[in-house]
């Protein structure tokens, strides 16, 4: 019975490690040319996703990551995430690879978890 428990534990750990690696594999350092070299939010922008409020700081956003669908533009300062309490994370705004519309926000938690949300209305920018 001890060997069965050991095999089961090894299987669970392997699945968790595989899931963690797959979750981190989406965003990669930028290697191709994004649709915009930068954009500017003239004022902070607040987005909502359920009970979560995400505050994106004003300033210049520059492309930092990409995946097969989007380019991810890094905020000039930490993104504030308000739920029951406030926390700050690295994050910013994502743009579709073949467009220039600001599609949504993202942030990366301390454990590397990538969190995303879509904008209800595109933030004012230039």
Hey, where are the domains in the chain?
3-118
3-state secondary structure of 51: coil
**Residue 50 neighbours by CB under 8 Å, 6+ apart:** none
pLDDT in tens, 45-93: 999 999 999 999 999 999 999 999 999 999 999 999 999 999 999 999 9
- 3-state DSSP call for residue 78? coil
- What pTM was computed for the model? 0.78
102 pLDDT more than 70: yes
């Amino acid at each position: 019975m001890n060997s069965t428990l050991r095999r089961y534990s090894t299987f669970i750990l392997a699945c968790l490690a595989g899931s963690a690696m797959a979750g981190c594999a989406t965003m990669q350092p930028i290697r191709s040319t994004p649709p915009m070299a930068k954009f500017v939010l003239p004022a902070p922008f607040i987005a909502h996703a359920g009970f979560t409020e995400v505050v994106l700081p004003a300033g210049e956003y520059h492309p930092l990551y990409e995946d097969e669908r989007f380019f991810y533009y890094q905020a000039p300062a930490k993104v504030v995430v308000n739920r029951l309490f406030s926390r700050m994370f690295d994050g910013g705004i994502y743009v579709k690879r073949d467009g220039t519309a600001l599609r949504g926000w993202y942030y990366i938690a301390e454990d590397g978890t990538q969190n995303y949300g879509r904008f209800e209305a595109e933030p004012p920018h230039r």
